Structure 1
Amino acid sequence: MRQTLIELLESNSTHADEFQSRFDDVQDSQRPNVVTVCCSDSRVLQDHMWGNDHPGRIFTCGNIGNRVVQRTDAGEVVSGDVLYPVAHTGTDTIIVVGHTGCGAVTATYDELTDGVSEPAGIEHCLSLLKPRLESGVESLPSNLARAEAVNRLVEYNVDRQVEFLADSDDVPAEVDAVGVVYDFQDAYSDRRGEVHVINVNGETAVEKLREEHPRIASRIGRLWEY
């Protein structure tokens, strides 16, 4: 048995000691306030980034590229992972969480610019990102370094995922769709791990967002207003 599993189980014992009474109110049902769609990158701490230690508060989804799109025989639809809490637990806020240095966005960028070869499962994921990032790649300023280009496409991808939610008949109009970026590369500020709001219900203009949401004005910002 690998040491990694042993260490994880030891950490879980501490977790279980701390959480003995925290499941009392959610034994039989859940009513999460928000569903987050995060990239499954190991550097993206899905609950910890919000300081969450309350079971039942956040419904978390994860996949490479923080995608809300699922391909079915009927066409592209909002992923059931995202839609479930909206449809069944009264969740009224969806947060799409991109992050700086995203590997899925990087791979999609490379696929669109140079062509890459990936295993079929990864290629399927990239195929859901490529049509949404293609116009972003074409619009990038030509003088950007690769890392800067990727981080701008991270924002572009978040915008396209929020747009898909807003356009879907399966997401009620009263549900808020918010796009954010989790930064651990000092791209937005020197506070590593800070979340920056870039999109609220399809609005992406920074000054307008700050006017409309003054309580979080300092947390609203973008690298790219295209």
Structure 2
Amino acid sequence: MNQLVVDLLRVNLRHVREFRDRFDTVQDAQFPGAVTVCCSDSRVLQDHIWGNDEPGQVFTVGNIGNRVIQRTEAGPVVSGDVLYPVAHTGTETVVVVGHTGCGAVTATYDALTGRLPEGSEPAGIEYCLDLLKPHLRPGVETLPDDVGRAGAVNRLVEYNVDRQVEFLCDSDDVPDGVSVVGVVYDFQDVYGGERGEVQLVNVDGETDVDSLRESHPEVEDRINRLWTY
């Protein structure tokens, strides 16, 4: 047996001892307060970001590029992974979680600027990048001329979060009472805070920092953006 798998199973026993009594109230149903849509990245630990250690509190969705959009024959729709808790478990808060240095955004940026030749990624990855390209293309075209590649990517991380939030807010499948929030998880010292801080960049489509701070003074120190476009 692969030693890593052996180690993972051993660690799972610690989880068993810690959590064995925490499933009593959620064995038959779940009513999570929030669904988080996070980028699939080993450096971004969805539950740990929020200090979540109770089953049933957070419905976690992960994919490269923290996408909420799914392509169907009828056109783009809100992904069923994201929509399920909103439609079936009474969840009324969606949090789109981007992160600094996002590989999916980097690859999409490189593809849109000719640095990454078409077809250079496996088909499954190309499919995911193709879902991001039409939403990030206007952002790439709007980037300041004097920004470097890393700076461009981190601005596009915000831009991508904004586009995912916008799609949710505009969808008829998402009830008006659902709050949609966009954040960026920073572990690369980009925003000037502590490593691992979540920066609030979008609330229900509002992206203006001053307006957000005025509307949400209780978290004004966590409302920051790199880019106003």
- 1:160-199 equivalent positions in 2, closer than 5 A: 160-199=163-202
SS at match of 1:177: strand
Number of the residue aligned with 1:149: 152
Aligned counterpart for 1:125 among listed residues 128, 132, 145: 128
Q: Where do 5+ consecutive residues of structure 2 fail to align? A: none
Q: Distance in 1 between matches of 2:195 and 2:15?
A: 25
1:210 matches 2:213: yes
State percent identity of aligned pairs.
70
Number of the residue aligned with 1:92: 92
Q: Distance in 1 between matches of 2:48 and 2:42?
A: 12
SS at match of 1:37: strand
Q: Distance in 2 between matches of 1:88 and 1:175?
A: 13
CA deviation map 1:113-172 (0-9, x unaligned): 014321110010001100000010011111111111100000000000000001100000
Q: CA deviation at 1:20?
A: 1.1
Q: Distance in 2 between matches of 1:4 and 1:192?
A: 28
Q: Distance in 1 between matches of 2:206 and 2:7?
A: 44
Q: Give RMSD over aligned pairs.
A: 0.7
Q: Distance in 2 between matches of 1:37 and 1:51?
A: 16
Q: CA deviation at 1:189?
A: 2.1
1:57 matches 2:60: no
SS at match of 2:15: helix
Q: Distance in 2 between matches of 1:87 and 1:24?
A: 24
Aligned residues: 226
Number of the residue aligned with 2:137: 134
The TM-score normalised by the length of structure 1 is 0.99
Q: Distance in 1 between matches of 2:193 and 2:138?
A: 30
Q: Where do 5+ consecutive residues of structure 1 fail to align? A: none
Q: What amino acid does structure 1 have at the position aligned with 2:111?
A: E
Q: Distance in 2 between matches of 1:100 and 1:3?
A: 32
- 1:15-34 equivalent positions in 2, closer than 5 A: 15-34=15-34
Q: Distance in 1 between matches of 2:25 and 2:142?
A: 49
Q: What amino acid does structure 2 have at the position aligned with 1:81?
A: D
Runs of 4+ in 1 over 4 A off after TM superposition: none
SS at match of 1:181: strand
Q: What amino acid does structure 2 have at the position aligned with 1:52?
A: N
The TM-score normalised by the length of structure 2 is 0.97
